[in-house]
A and B are shown apart, each in its own frame.
Chain A
């Protein structure tokens, strides 16, 4: 289906652009910084436009972002150049190059080496300057779509949030109203009556069903609304449970076919034996032991045999309940398959937001850090009263933010750095995971080869509305 747009594409666009000029000469910075600003302003404007509720503050931010975009958009003027102006510029370039060659031949003998060098450095700037001016005379930003953005703030004031007017709804209606009928027809010249009869029949059934379901659902909804509204204690309870993620697990055990390699891992010894990487093995061993020592009721010493015999199973993903921007619950899937593939694809080791401590620390990251999942497992411990308690644990690659989590002045992103290898891998309880994160490796590597060697990342804070709202606040 064509309408499914590129919502997410835009979010990583802003993540990618600031990274590309890295390593450029200082002379290029004045060109790249407006480009970054312009891209960001447009995407921030789009982000505000997608809000489901507005107030004066968000509308004024929107206006500011638009103003910002219009201030800096001239950097991209060359991108608007059509074929004609490009041909013109190319002709001019060849002419200038020819002239330069002639000049060089006549003057070069009299120049000192330093002057020669200076001239050589000055030439490309001179040529590009001469070429840009006529190009800029020809191209402009005058197309209708760019103008419409200036009306949006007023439209929101009059007709409320824009999300409801998205064309996605009627693009979607094509499927049920036309395309299903077309597929059921005999594709004849006279297909329209067939489409309409088909549509009529199908819709009558479905709408009849909705009408029958409707009253029952309404009663349920009103009953649920009453219980929440009338008692204050009930209101507080879900908020409290939301703040502590309740992970739901899914993994090879759920399939029960016994064919998956991870299903043979039943205790800690098997996990250690099956871990290829030596550093991972050491980390699992020492941190699990520490965790058990901390959690066991009498803090007794555990021998290696006891630890090795401890019951354990591997899981491949957790579902975390995340609170969205307007209070609704979204469940996010954090995947971690270790060395196995995920549903036939490549091996994802997702990044997660991990809560560190209460209060405001780590600057814009709000007391959370992004760590990469390496392994997910659960262990069974003996409780005080003789019963078993299960603990869900995760082995992660830890990072710490650069610049103590404050935003980079140019790119406005937070950067992460791998910690020293001695404490790089840690085991902790998955209850601290608050959601999925999206980070972009600093050194460009293909996601398929894995980014083990990479030691620096940038947090993509524009990946969704809630994240960017938290970070830029």
Chain B
């Protein structure tokens, strides 16, 4: 997308790649169960070294998304009915947030451009493009009206997740424009097609915004590797050692690992730690 937009730029225009990030956070247990779901925004042209520095304040909070009520009292049969309005509310909120990017509210402005006041005091003509959206798997499925536990980048069927596919023959990338036309068609055949792709019906906020929806997702080292797959791996190794009666030895080695820089020696074995989160993860 960036490359296509770059080709249309005129002399002295500026491309503004926006990186959006969203993640739920937990504020307090004591003063009521308070959680927030903020959306942050930063610019893609910043050096990643500067962007990662908290003291540079490169990340700005632009919205707090609505958090749906807990469904603990809803019977499981009606959960699907509850999720549909949740998704619609979420998309409506996001539509309000991104309305300036769609250029619909100001027909006088030249389409696709903003006049932005720069730090040097001059105005620049900028073309904003959403380049990335960094979030969890779960948030992403909600943003894109996908069913749970499906993969949002390509149309890989659920029973082939574990197979190795080399990079030259991969499944087709999800086409969100197609889904939108299918949703608009509002016929039975279209619905069947949507459900075969594991997609829910509904308005997708990323349609009118300049971006490629399936490319927004970027690999996220923290969530997908560190607390994702490595966590799985640790569990597998634990079970593996247990079945082969080597658990005592494994635990003893775990506890005997000496300290190194920020690696503090552990004082609990895997089974003694009930929840691998926060502080325990660090150890």
Contacts and interface: CB of A to CB of B under 8 A. Distances in A.
Interface of A: 1-13, 15-17, 19-24, 28, 31-32, 35, 39, 42, 46, 49-50, 63, 66-67, 70-71, 73, 75-76, 78-81, 140-155, 159, 162-179, 182, 187, 189, 191-192, 199, 203, 206-207, 210-211, 332-333, 348, 351, 436, 438-441, 444-447, 451, 463
A171 B253 CA distance: 32
A94 to B, nearest CB: 17
Given A80-B236, A165-B219, A174 B38 contact: yes
A422 B168 CA distance: 60
29 contacts: A5-B226, A9-B230, A10-B226, A12-B263, A20-B249, A21-B246, A24-B244, A46-B229, A67-B166, A79-B237, A81-B239, A145-B229, A147-B151, A147-B162, A151-B219, A154-B170, A155-B219, A164-B52, A167-B134, A167-B221, A168-B222, A169-B51, A172-B54, A173-B54, A182-B34, A191-B34, A206-B57, A348-B258, A451-B258
Contacts of A20: 241, 246, 249-250, 253
B170 A444 contact: no
Given A7-B226, A144-B150, A177 B61 contact: yes
B222 A166 contact: yes
B51 A164 contact: yes
Given A10-B226, A15-B257, A142-B162, A179 B27 contact: yes
Interface string B221-263: 1111111111011111111110110100110111111111111
Contacts of B22: 170
A178 B159 CA distance: 40
A144 B240 contact: no
Chain B's interface size range is: 35 or more
B69 interface: no
A448 B252 CA distance: 13
Given A49-B219, A63-B166, A66-B164, 11 more contacts: A5-B282, A24-B246, A141-B162, A145-B137, A152-B219, A154-B167, A163-B48, A165-B221, A167-B220, A438-B263, A446-B256
B75 interface: no
A151 B217 CA distance: 11
Contacts of B259: 348, 447
Contacts of A163: 48, 221
Contact of A167 (B21, B167, B262, B283): B21
A169 B38 CA distance: 13
A332 B260 CA distance: 10
Given A16-B257, A166-B221, A177-B38, A146 B162 contact: yes
B40 A177 contact: yes
A388 to B, nearest CB: 34
B221 A187 contact: no
Contacts of A447: 255-259, 265
Interface of B: 21-23, 25, 27-28, 31-32, 34, 36, 38, 40, 42, 48, 51-52, 54-57, 59-61, 64, 119, 132, 134-137, 149-151, 153-154, 156, 158-167, 170, 218-230, 232-241, 243-244, 246, 249-250, 252-263, 265, 277-278, 281-283
A438 B262 CA distance: 12
B256 A6 contact: no
Given A6-B226, A150-B165, A332-B261, A143 B218 contact: no
- A-B complex: 9 closest residue pairs judged by Cβ atoms: A141-B162, A79-B236, A70-B164, A444-B252, A79-B239, A76-B236, A164-B48, A170-B21, A187-B31
Contacts of B253: 16, 19-20, 440, 444
Contacts of A451: 256, 258
Given A20-B249, A187-B31, A46 B230 contact: yes
Contacts of A167: 21, 23, 134-136, 220-223
Nearest to A214: B119
Contact of A49 (B59, B225, B250, B277): B225
The winner among A164, A172, A177, A348 for most chain B CB atoms within 10 A is A164
A192 B64 contact: yes
Contacts of B236: 76, 79-80
Nearest to B149: A144
